[in-house]
Amino acid sequence: MWQLYHFPLCPFSRKVQLALSEKKVPFALRLAYPWEDDEDFHRRNPAGKTPVLYQEERRLTLADSQAICEYFEETESKSPLLPGSAQARAEIRRLVALFDDALYNGVTAPLLHEKMKKRLFLRQSPDSRVLRQATRVLHDHLDYIDFLVDHNRWLGGAQLSLADFAAAAQLSVIDYLDCLEWSDHSSARNWYRVMKSRPSFAPLLTQKMEGLPPPRHYADVNA
């Protein structure tokens, strides 16, 4: 069976969990905090980042969320993550890269630092300027998600794709940290509600970061 090194608030591990669940690939979770010493984890991924997926029996280790998703897209034809023509697939990959890079670095990563790392590990209080700046960038992304959903049914086009899972994975962490403000982003909000109701999403809504409980609305699929 596949083992997934992750920690509950790693958005890239969430993206992989969603992809594996959609494709009905069974896996077990194994906790790793990348910033701590864990020999087996660091040996398996010299980049020192979660997620890492491995299968002892087959001596197979995969690292990097996108490399992992592409691997299962090639080996499991069920529920395509990159449906459509080469051009459609390029558009989905462009959006995945945008969410993995700009949404993560502009919003999720600073919020994780301010609200998770400072609270649990550094015992500092969050910097409100950083939080405000992250919120501003978040609204730009929600605007863009509104735009995409208004033009297509899903983020990457007419079909559900990895672009939806990549974006929803980031937003779910932002929501856990109680920083997801919808204001007038009603298209994005409706889209996210649909994502949150998928069976593949349910496990994410129960995973908790020790010492950092989510807000009450977090696990409510109608919120």
Ligand X SMILES: N[C@@H](CCC(=O)N[C@@H](CS)C(=O)NCC(=O)O)C(=O)O
Angle between helices 65-75 and 11-22 (to 10 degrees): 10
Residue 51 or 110 having the CB closest to ligand X:
51
**Residue 90 binds a copy of itself, judged by CB under 8 A:** yes
Residue 12 or 176 having the CB closest to a copy of itself:
12
For residue 59, give Cα distances in angstroms to 42, 54, 82, 100, 139: 16, 8, 27, 28, 43
**Residue 60 binds a copy of itself, judged by CB under 8 A:** yes
Please state, in angstroms and rounded to a whole number, the distance separating the CA atoms of residues 196 and 201.
6
Q: Which stretch binds a copy of itself (CB under 8 A): 25-33, 93-101, 114-122, 184-192?
A: 93-101
The partner residues of 154 in beta bridges, in order of sequence, read: 157
Please state, in angstroms and rounded to a whole number, the distance separating the CA atoms of residues 210 and 212.
6
**Residue 122 binds a copy of itself, judged by CB under 8 A:** no
> Among 43, 94, 151, 193, which residue interacts with a copy of itself (rule: CB under 8 A)?
94
**Residue 170 binds ligand X, judged by CB under 6 A:** no
**Residue 71 binds a copy of itself, judged by CB under 8 A:** yes
Please state, in angstroms and rounded to a whole number, the distance separating the CA atoms of residues 61 and 103.
27
Residue 68 or 145 having the CB closest to ligand X:
68
User: Distance from first CA to last CA of the chain, Å, rounded?
Assistant: 34
| 109 half-sphere exposure, CB direction, 13 A CA radius | 9
Interface positions with a copy of itself (CB under 8 A): 46-47, 60, 62-64, 66-68, 70-71, 74-75, 86-87, 89-91, 93-94, 97-98, 101-102, 144
Interface positions with ligand X (CB under 6 A): 10-12, 34-35, 48-51, 64-66, 97, 100-101
